[in-house]
Structures are given as structure tokens and as C-alpha cells.
Amino acid sequence: MKMKSIVSILLCLCLAAAVILTGCGDKSDGASDKATQAAAEAVTEAAKADGIDYMVLVNKTHALPDDWEDKLETIHMTNSVGDDVEVEKKAYDAYLKLKEALEKEDIHVDLDSARRSVADQQRIMDEFTEQYGADYAAKTVDQPGCSEHHTGLALDLYLIIDGKDVVENEDMIKYTDIWAKIHEKLADCGFILRYPDGAEHITGCGYEPWHIRYLDNADAAKEIAAKGVTLEEYLGAYTGGEVSIDYGTSEIYTEQDLRDAVIRIKCRFAFWGNVDLKSIRYAGDEAVSEEKLKWLNELEPQAGYTQAAMFFTDFHTPADFTQNVFTADTDYTDYQWWLARKAGGGWDIVTFAYDAG
């Protein structure tokens, strides 16, 4: 398996631990915009009438519908690097239109990967479990049943620049102007950018300019693009409301550092379902001593953390909450979240507890 394929399997690290805890349950809806939700429901009903529901939501908390694989009609194509790619039929036709529109602007793309069956994902999970252990596998591989790639409607593009294939994520991400032009053309062909920058706490996935999603509905795609919302929000499946955030002051971290940490915490809450997260507050530079850093490194002996931060959170758990470390229907105040990283790197949530350490 080439690196790019592995990388695309390692998507959505943001919520890795949350997945371990939550599995693939359904979340109840709570639309903030009822009109949008009604429109979305009408679209969903229309789509259901003829086979698969093109507006389906598949993410960490919304599993693929049981009968999906029976109804799905796909085609196979061979991309420019010789890989077989399986795509849902209408999504492929729409992709060809998109490709043609882009070629008029001298932008060249191809399909890196599209559909992965639940069985394939399970096989990958098993391989990773055998090779690296269950914890690592659960952290790095999407839970089988909860990857949007199961639908056949999610496409990962790669770029062809000056006749050369650019397939590695870290190379592709540099072409920001080209991606912007590609993203402009998506809605006309019924696609959306599925994991926009800054929506990690809603989608559960980091920014992926290459991952596009077919909706078979250009109007819905245009509305999503125009409003700058995610599919979760459009379908009323995101229940997180306004959270009061206090970054305080820090001489160690920039506000962006603290923002990144807060996104990680919000991600975890977003995928715990209906927990009402009220506030997140940076505990200050003095909250983390050498001793605390040592303790966090003891909790994650492989990590080699050099920096840590602690945040207080206030939240209320719903009546049906089943996460075993929390009590249902309870107010939590000044609950601690401990994050750590190697200097300048991405934050890990190491632990959370009342008065931890």
C-alpha cells in the first residue's frame, strides 16, 4: 500500500479517542436553523425514493445505513498511477464533469481513492491491530462502518502538476490557489468540500482540501458553500452551541496554540453527543509545572512531550449519557483537561478528570 493510501486511512485523528469511547451510535438532532433543516429533510426524502440517500451523513457518530452496500451501484476506474478506484455511479459522472470544467482552466486532477467497503476497513483495522496493537489501531484507523468513504460518494482527489502526479497529502496541501479554484467549481457539479478548515470540532476531521463529497443536489451543495456550513450543520446533526472561551494570557503559548488546543477539546465534546459544553478556560502558564509534565509523560511513555497546558471546562451531561467516567444529568464545573505536545507540534488530549494529577 502506498503512502498516500495509508495517509488517507489515517484520516480524522482529531477524535480518535472519542471513537474508542463512543463507537458508532446515533446522535439525536437539534437544529439551530429549522428552515434549513426542513429543506434538508425534504431533500433527504426525495433522495431516498430512488435507492441510496445521497444526502446521507456518515461520520464518527453516524454509521453507514445497514442496507447501503446492497443498494449501492458503483463503477471501477483506473487512475493515472494505475490504481483501481471504485466510485458510486452518479458520483463518477459528476466527477467527470468537474474534471472537464477544471481542465478548461488548465487544472488537472485524478481520483486517489473513493469507495472503501466496510470489510476493507475492517481488514485494515485488523492489520493495524495485529501490527501495532488495538490502542494504536483504534486511534489511527477510522472505525469500520463510520468512514464516509464507505458510501462511494466521498472522493479523494490528487493533483497533476506539469504532467506530474502529486499524491502525497503534505505535497498537495501546498497548492492552496489550485485547491481554491477547485473548490469554487464543486457545487455546480453537486459536490461539497467535506472537511473545511476550522470546522474540525464539527466534522471530527482536520482540513482536507482533496476530500470532496457528492450530494446529487447542486442546490444543496450551493447552499452549503454559500453559507459556509458543514454537512453536519446543514442536516441539523451538530448540536454544539456557543461556548464561552477564555484564552487568558500566556507567555508560553500564542493565541493560535491555545486555539488549536481548544479545538481538540471541542472535538471531543462534539462527538460525545448532547453534552452541553458551556465554557473552556485556559488555566494559565503556572498550572503546568515540571512535575505535571513528567506525570503526563508517564501517562503516555512513548510520546516525549515537552509542553503541556491545562484547561478548565464547565458542562452538563444529558440524562441518557453513558460515558462511564461521567454521571448522567450532572453539572461539571472546573473540570480539568490536560493536553500536551512536542514543542510547536499538534496537541494530544492526555487525560481529563476532576483535579487530575
Nearest approach, Cβ of 195 to Zn ion (angstroms)? 8
| Ramachandran region, residue 40 (left: φ > 0; alpha: ψ -120 to 50; beta: rest) | alpha
Of 108 and 211, nearer to Zn ion (C-beta) is: 211
Of 172 and 243, nearer to Zn ion (C-beta) is: 172
Part of the chain binding Zn ion (CB under 5 A), chosen from 54-62, 130-138, 156-164, 325-333: 156-164
Nearest approach, Cβ of 205 to Zn ion (angstroms)? 9
Q: What are the backbone angles phi and psi of residue 132, rounded to the nearest 5°?
A: -120, -5
Q: Is residue 11 classed as helix, strand or coil in its secondary structure?
A: coil
Of 92 and 315, nearer to Zn ion (C-beta) is: 92
- Cell representation of residue 71: 443498494
> Is 112 near Zn ion (CB under 5 A)?
no
The contact mask relative to Zn ion for 172-211 (x = CB under 5 A, - = no) is: ---------------------------------------x
Amino acid at 171: D
Q: What are the backbone angles phi and psi of residue 292, rounded to the nearest 5°?
A: -65, -40
Amino acid at 103: E
Helix (H) or strand (E) holding 87: strand 84-88
| Residues 209-238 within binding reach of Zn ion (CB under 5 A) | 211
* Bridging pattern class, strands 244-246 and 211-214: unpaired
Nearest approach, Cβ of 169 to Zn ion (angstroms)? 10
- CA 112 centroid distance within chain: 18
Of 150 and 211, nearer to Zn ion (C-beta) is: 211
Of 62 and 211, nearer to Zn ion (C-beta) is: 211
Partners of residue 88 on adjacent β-strands: 74
Of 156 and 200, nearer to Zn ion (C-beta) is: 156
Nearest approach, Cβ of 112 to Zn ion (angstroms)? 8
Part of the chain binding Zn ion (CB under 5 A), chosen from 14-22, 125-133, 153-161, 334-342: 153-161
In angstroms, the CA 260 to CA 198 distance is 10
Part of the chain binding Zn ion (CB under 5 A), chosen from 68-76, 125-133, 150-158, 253-261: 150-158
Nearest approach, Cβ of 344 to Zn ion (angstroms)? 27
In angstroms, the CA 268 to CA 187 distance is 30
Q: Which residues, 6 or more positions from 320, have their beta carbon under 8 angstroms from its beta carbon?
A: 328
In angstroms, the CA 272 to CA 270 distance is 6
Q: Which residue is nearest to Zn ion (CB)?
A: 211
| Inter-residue contact 263 to 200 (CB < 8 Å) | yes
Q: What share of the chain is helix, strand, coil (3-state, %, to 5)?
A: 40, 20, 40
Of 156 and 223, nearer to Zn ion (C-beta) is: 156
Of 211 and 266, nearer to Zn ion (C-beta) is: 211
Q: Which of 110, 156, 233, 257 binds Zn ion (CB under 5 A)?
A: 156
| Residues 252-311 within binding reach of Zn ion (CB under 5 A) | none
Size of interface with Zn ion, in residues (CB under 5 A): 2
Contact footprint for Zn ion (CB under 5 A): 156, 211
